[in-house]
A = this chain, B = another copy of it.
Amino acid sequence: MESDFVSWLLRSLPQDQRLEVPAGDDAAVLRPPATRRTVVTVDLLTEGVDFLLTGNAGAAAFPPPASPWQVGYKAVAVNLSDLAAMAARPEAIVVAVALPRQGGRQLGEEIAAGVAACATEFSVTQAGGDTNAWDGPLVLSVTALGSVAPQQAWRRDAARPGDALVVTGPVGGSLLGRHLAVTPRCREALAIAAGFPVHAAIDVSDGLALDVSRLLAASGVGGVLDLAAIPIHADAVRLSTLGPEDGRDPLGHALGDGEDFELVLAMPPAAAAELVACPPEQLVAGTTMQPTIIGKVTATSGLQGRQPDGSVGPLAPKGFDHVFD
């Protein structure tokens, strides 16, 4: 029953100073940090599109099915990645779930454990939620709240011609498993924001080429990606030989796979050079971040790619787009 599950869930939530009224009321009351802005984002994950659930995935070995714990962790992590792309400090989440009636209790508990693990790791308070049961597949919707100083959020519409484009780590091939072990660049974003000027940012959720093209279009500018400079993840190389045969080479996977949850930053070139020269460990202890300059922002609109031979031509903004009509 919903009421038993919610009682269990509420008992499991840690206390948090940020909550004047904690989860369990009609709504939660948050003490927002003085003089800071509230940043809000939502991501809804559906079984069959964002993940295949262990046990329901049939015989498919690829993409690897997710445990309920992983689904819970991922649903929080992808939202925190959006906060990172705004240079916002994560503060709170609310979680809504539609559970299948059969086995929903155990599923709910495992999801809640994954949610709690990610929330704890990134010091986010669980401010509330909504538990539903139905005859459909699993749906999980997380809304994340963050905070940022006034006018300090990294927008996606403020890249300037001449900016360097930086990506915080290698991309491609996430479906081999990284799509279920998302590491949002929250600490990295805060450290970079504290030390470097960033004009615009976006996280790579749907595909490097698509997400860069979104940033450029929102800013009313264009850009050239230096294809030889794009850090290709080992998974992209592996997927080009092991994955479903669609003829894409490792670079194709790096440009179009998405779910990398690295950040793309548009920065003054000198600052970008300084960032990539700085040992990442010096910025954030224990980080796996590896910032790389991958191109530049131009005044002419559209996304271009520079081949290793120096020739420049249009680059398709490939990536994931939900299809419906």
Contacts and interface: CB of A to CB of B under 8 A. Distances in A.
B322 A131 contact: yes
Contact of A153 (B29, B86, B133, B141): B29
A27 B46 contact: no
Interface centre among A44, A97, A323 (most CB of B within 10 A): A44
Chain A interface bracket (under 10, 10 to 19, 20 to 34, 35 or more): 35 or more
Interface in A11-39: 20-21, 24-32, 37-39
A252 B105 CA distance: 29
A176 to B, nearest CB: 23
A169 interface: no
A78 B174 CA distance: 38
Contact of A324 (B1, B43, B139, B324): B1
Interface centre among A21, A27, A133 (most CB of B within 10 A): A27
A82 interface: yes
Given A1-B323, A25-B156, A143-B143, A44 B98 contact: yes
Copy count, this protein chain: 2
Contacts of A321: 1-3
A32 B153 CA distance: 15
A197 interface: no
Nearest to A143: B143
A48 B88 CA distance: 38
A28 B85 CA distance: 11
A95 B132 CA distance: 17
A103 B325 CA distance: 5
A82 B28 CA distance: 10
Interface centre among A99, A203, A218, A321 (most CB of B within 10 A): A321
Contacts of A272: none
A129 to B, nearest CB: 6
Interface centre among A25, A99, A102, A105 (most CB of B within 10 A): A25
Closest 9 pairs (CB-CB, A-B): A104-B324, A27-B41, A2-B322, A133-B324, A44-B96, A26-B85, A141-B141, A143-B143, A133-B322
